[in-house]
Amino acid sequence: MSDSPLTVAVCQFAPDADRAANRERIAALTAEAAARGATLVVFPEYSSYFVDPMDDTLAANAETLDGPFATALRGLAERHGVTVVAGLVEAGEGSRVRNTVIAADAGGIRAVYRKQHLYDAFGQTESDWIEPGGLDADAVFQAGGLTVGLLTCYDLRFPEVARTLIDRGADVLVVPAEWVRGPLKEHHWQTLLTARAIENTAYVVSADHPGPIGVGLSQVIDPQGVVLAGVGSGEGVAVAALDPAVIGRVRDTNPALRLRRYRVVPA
């Protein structure tokens, strides 16, 4: 773990069915984030392509890990000296696609995470279109001397996902999302983000879609559950510094990770 803070930006925007336009918007927001000092730039789930409701066009617009979207992220990372995290609709092996998050820097793709828990809830059936990722595929990577772990949207409701990342050394949990609006959904989103930070004594960095489909409220939360920076319901960028010394102090005074008697056992 480095002694220097890592500056992170959450970029809240509304991707749509225009893949080229999505890449252009990501380029503009990355430039803004880098100009504000960020070296880790986080975008929402489905940043490469999104339609609501989901349909067959997902498969038609899915890309590989060396396709135009991933290539664009690597180019932006090199140009601005940052690591970029964003959601990709990835081509699958059958009729369904993968809901994937990639982290890319100037050297290439640093981590790949495929959403494990699909959003078959609140009247939605994501599994009609998406195949789940494997339960043994926990994605972590290094950024600015900190270990960063990836999970996606609905995974947030399953605390064991975050805990497996912590067991792999994560200091920061990054959560790209498309957290769909609905009764009490803003409350659920903020409560679960805060809980994952407090129970794991880790930073939580979340990037959501804005309204009218998403709840927005992208946030950076410290290991004690304090919101350091955030965006409201519209498009925007929020920047905050993640201080390794804070993680150390919190874990010294609240040694819950050391004191717990349960351990996550793979299925």
Active site residues: 45, 115, 153
The CA distance from 38 to 41, in Å, is: 7
**β-strands 172-176, 108-114 pairing:** unpaired
On whether the CB atoms of residues 118 and 130 are closer than 8 A, the answer is: yes
The CA distance from 59 to 55, in Å, is: 8
- Where does 109-239 have alpha helices with state H? 159-167, 185-200
If you count them, how many residues does the chain have?
267
**β-strands 219-221, 203-207 pairing:** antiparallel
Question: Tokens in use for 151?
Answer: 């999970």
On whether the CB atoms of residues 152 and 45 are closer than 8 A, the answer is: yes
**β-strands 83-90, 40-42 pairing:** parallel
3-state secondary structure of 5: coil
